[in-house]
Amino acid sequence: MKKILFIVNVDWFFVSHRLPIALEAKKQGYEVHIACKFTDKFDLLASHGFILHELNLERASIGLLNEVRLFVQIFRCLKKVNPDLLHAITIKPVLYAGFVSRFTQIKRVFSISGLGYVFIGSDLKSKLIAPIAKLFYRLAIGKKNDVVIVQNKNDHLLIAKMCKLNDDQFVLIPGSGVDLTKYHMQQEPENEVMIMFMSRLLKDKGIYEFYESASLLKNKDINARFVLVGDVDANPKSLKRSELVAWVASGVVEYWGHTNHPETMIPKCNIFVLPSYREGFPKALIEAAACGRPVVTTDVPGCRDAIIPDKTGILVPAKDPLSLANAIEKLILDKNLRESMGVEGRLLAESRYSIDDVVKTHLYIYSGLGN
């Protein structure tokens, strides 16, 4: 029996973005191992018969001692499992597992869904870390039979240049897919228009621009409600809890907390907004489309790839609260436009983003590497 080892940052991310792939791999005869940090999804993953390995992986940590410990843990895990195939997902697993396995015979797949805040940040910390991150990418990825899964063309070009890879080593899979049997097209709510931001509450997700645009529209007496769904994060770019409390107290936004069921949360809104600075391919946008919701998002890599501009949603410049407010206002005032974009969004999700197609493509990649 061939063994596949998935290394990912945290269990809940694996469940939300990769579980169907692991289930199909097991169904097709692979012995499936998962190494990550565990929160509350250990029992769920174990119930599927996966073999689990704990990693003390903190996404936002860059303390030297912690990183050395993680590096050693990944080394020991690879040595213990000795997989036929390694699939590393998210930044640290890609870099660390890639480096550790560079001189082994293990076949390797890397999923890169965005290059991280160090490549888009303008602060001193980002500028200092970015050259080191680029060096690590070159050391981690570059074997002739490596396969790199990217979610947008921009990442393809950047990684190919950075790691000196051939185009035939890349597979473009737009997003993690959406379960069209779980996300249903639904009529929008009546009465007040609800505008929803659903993501980790990070600066790079455009959380501050969302709040500023909501403030602008509230000052114009636009009849709408602005809702935040998500939570503060360990990421250094996260909104502070005190800021969140102050925002809610101001009456500009409502806070609905974190949800494990976006398929029931998204239909409660009329307009879905993600003003991110950069993405790999935002799953939330295709989930919103599958529910028949028009979106407002930014004209940046990943976000622009997830919609059909002026057909399923509206693109605005990043870091521009006024343009964001104008686009949201346009949809607030035009119910027919919202409905037509919602219908087109559902059609887009059905034609391009089915989870079944994503799973089939991954298993095709695995089978090709096994030959």
Q: From 117, 97, 95, 115, select the one nearest 107 (Cα to Cα).
A: 97
- Grade residue 251 by pLDDT with cuts at 50, 70 and 90: very high
Q: Look up residue 349 and give its amino acid.
A: A
Q: Is 147 helix (H, G, I), strand (E, B) or coil?
A: strand
Residue 61 has pLDDT above 60, yes or no: no
Whether the per-residue pLDDT at 207 is higher than 90: the answer is yes
DSSP 261-303: -HHHHGGG-SEEEE--S--S--HHHHHHHHTT--EEEESSTTT
Which residues, at least 6 apart from 242, have a Cβ–Cβ distance to it below 8 Å?
none
Residues of the chain with pLDDT > 90, as a percent, come to 70
Contact 85, 107 (CB under 8 A): yes
H helical segments located in 181-240: 207-219
What interhelical angle do 321-332 and 335-352 show, nearest 10?
100
Instruction: Report DSSP letters for 311-322, one per residue.
Output: TTEEEE-TT-HH
Tell me how far apart the alpha carbons of residues 162 and 166 are, in angstroms, rounded to a whole number.
11
Q: How far apart are the C-alpha atoms of 6 and 8, rounded to whole Å? A: 6
Tokens of 362: 């991954």
pLDDT at 118 over 90: no
Q: How does pLDDT run across 64-88, given as a tens digit for each residue?
A: 788 888 889 999 999 999 999 999 9
Q: Do the two domains 3-177+354-369 and 193-352 of this chain adopt the same fold?
A: yes
Query: What number is the average pLDDT over the span 200-226?
Result: 94
Residue 117 pLDDT: 59
* pLDDT, tens only, 312-349: 999 999 999 999 999 999 999 999 999 999 999 999 99
* Alpha carbons 93 and 11: distance in angstroms, whole number: 13
CA distance 314 to 46: 42
How many Cβ atoms are within 10 Å of 266's Cβ, its own excluded?
Answer: 23
Given this model, what pLDDT does residue 236 score? 78
Q: If phi over 0 gives left and psi between -120 and 50 gives alpha, with beta otherwise, what is residue 310?
A: left
In contact, 211 and 252? CB cutoff 8 Å: yes
pTM reported for the whole predicted model: 0.82
Q: Where does the pLDDT of residue 123 fall: very low under 50, low under 70, confident under 90, or very high at 90 and above?
A: low
> What is the pLDDT at residue 120?
58
Given a contact cutoff of 8 angstroms between Cβ atoms, the answer to whether 305 and 317 are in contact is no
What is the identity of the amino acid at 78? Answer: L
Q: Coil, helix or strand for 227?
A: strand
DSSP state of 194: E
Q: Would you state the torsion angle of the CA atoms of residues 92, 94, 96, 102, taken in this order, to the nearest 10 degrees?
A: -170
State yes or no: pLDDT of 170 exceeds 60. yes
Read off the pLDDT band of 56 (50, 70, 90): confident
| Per-domain residue ranges of the chain | 3-177+354-369, 193-352
pLDDT value of position 116: 61
Is residue 254 classed as helix, strand or coil in its secondary structure? strand
Q: What is the CATH number of domain 3-177+354-369?
A: 3.40.50.2000
pLDDT above 80 (res 254): yes
Domain covering 193-352 in this structure, CATH number: 3.40.50.2000
